[in-house]
Amino acid sequence: CGYPFALPPPAAPSPAGSQRRCKVGCGREVTAGLYKTGRPFSTCCRSCALGGVHRHDVECDHRSGIDEVMLVKVLEAKLTENLATFGLMDPFAKVHWITSSTSRQQVATTPVAWAGHMNPVWNYTCIGQPWAIASGVAEAELEFAVFERTFGDLSHTPCGTARVSLRKLL
């Protein structure tokens, strides 16, 4: 379902005195470089430059000392109950990365499998999640929750949830 891989060695450290922090407040060091106007960058990565609503990119993680990334691919589901009011179900899945009883982060939502009904197929690769293999295999888990997309997209009906330890996947 996923696999870790190592990134190339980090770039040489910045010269002393250039330890500016990202303006978004994530705490990471500002990336080296200049805007077209000649001003120095003020964020650590493109995600933060776009307002910090997305996860940091892999290069930003690497500069910050996070060298392993877990890729998760959501393939398919086998549902046991028809929850559609009429017609075929249009299921989608949400993936949560759980590292402790209080740390739960949604890392992906698959596209809707239109007319996927009881056997939806997504074949969807989630954004890589940074993690250190040595510190976190024992307690880290992935949770897959499948929902039926409802008419009008007002609310979604839960179809089922599965949770698996990363230790069992590796």
- State if pTM tops 0.75: no
pLDDT digits (tens, 9 = 90+) for 69-112: 678 899 999 999 998 878 899 999 999 988 777 778 888 899 99
Ranges assigned E (strand) in 32-114: 68-76, 91-98, 104-109
pLDDT at 148 over 50: yes
pLDDT for position 8: 42
Sign of CA dihedral 152, 158, 160, 161: positive
What is the spatial distance between Cα 134 and Cα 122, in angstroms, rounded to a whole number?
Answer: 31
Q: What is the pLDDT of residues 46-74, one digit of tens each?
A: 888 887 666 777 778 777 776 676 788 99
* CA–CA distance, 127 with 122 (Å, rounded to integer): 15
| Confidence label for 155 from pLDDT (cuts 50, 70 and 90) | confident
Mean pLDDT of the chain: 79
